[in-house]
Amino acid sequence: MSNIGIQQKVGVRQNLLQDASKRNKLNGILPFAGLLLVILFFTIVTGGSILDAQNLNNLLHQSFTVVIVAVGAVFVYSHGGMDMSLGALQGITQLGAAWVITSSILPPGLAIPASILIGMLVGTITGGVHVLMGVPAFVASLCVRYICSGITYTVTSKQDIYIPYTEFTQYNSGVIKALVLIVVLAAGYIIFEYTRFGKNLKAIGGNITVAKQSGIATKLNIVLAYAIIGGLVGLTGFFTLTRVGMINASSGQGLELNILTAIVLGGFPLTGGSASRLHSAIIGALTVTVLTNGLTLWGIDPYIIGGIKGLLFILIVGVTYDRSKGKLVL
């Protein structure tokens, strides 16, 4: 092969790498710019009330669940998985925590570990059904969703379950939630970005066949990813229960849509792989929270807000879908 041909191939490769680098930088900037634009827009239309001290406190409480579950979601979506059971799962973890709190058998202090363990158990079941039975993640998690919803509805259909709210007000403190957020974010970042486990998940998302050939225990890693998101959903389930003081058949409803929207708005690749970054999901989670809060302050009906988020999700996925390759290009 002539030197000219070699130089041309090298030049093409360098151009492709430069284009990929520019695209990655753009994908990193756009979600952050989108968050700033959302904040600016609602600052204008709400007359600045979105930045009031009281509303900023509300934003902390509202973002708590979405941000923490988004941390867990990166472990699932980075390997190309999906979990549609999150809302129903949070409902059943709240149910478990409420049972411990109102039970005369167990001390109320066990409500937190009980909620987390229930979430991890259900997450493990979802992951196990997916990898051991060969059921697609979407279908497996959807089945688990209906099972969890059925249990919660059966228990709460006749009457809502209330907890002794005054005994748990300390858990609704902004300081405690901020500390929990910091711990979860730090632990999630270290595990996902710097450990072999996090790198394995990205490798699985990139090419599961190559990952298997490289000696990665793909099934074990996938099940662990679902256990992690389940445990974090359980953690938020307890804090949500202490905030509202009760549980009913609709508890946790809509959480999976918020997380999916957060993942997409943050520029996180739904197909997983090496481009997966935890900060993308966090930016998306904050954007979803500000969007929901701003629309509420603006006087938009909650059902319409859900529709807006659904349309936004479809729009972004439609724009970022590479039809020639049959995959998302976020």
Backbone φ, ψ for residue 161 (5° rounding): -105, 125
Q: pTM of the predicted model, to two decimals? A: 0.88
Q: Which residue has the tokens 């980075």?
A: 78
pLDDT at 278: 94
pLDDT tens by residue, 8-55 = 444 445 554 454 455 555 566 888 888 999 999 999 998 889 999 899
pLDDT at 79: 94
Structure tokens at 305: 């807000």
CA distances to 91, 281, 284 from 303, rounded to whole Å, are 20, 24, 21
Residues 242, 245, 246, CA angle at the centre, nearest 5°?
120
Among residues 149, 306, 154, 163, the alpha carbon closest in space to that of 244 is found at 163
Put residue 93 in one of left, alpha, beta given phi > 0 → left and psi -120 to 50 → alpha: alpha
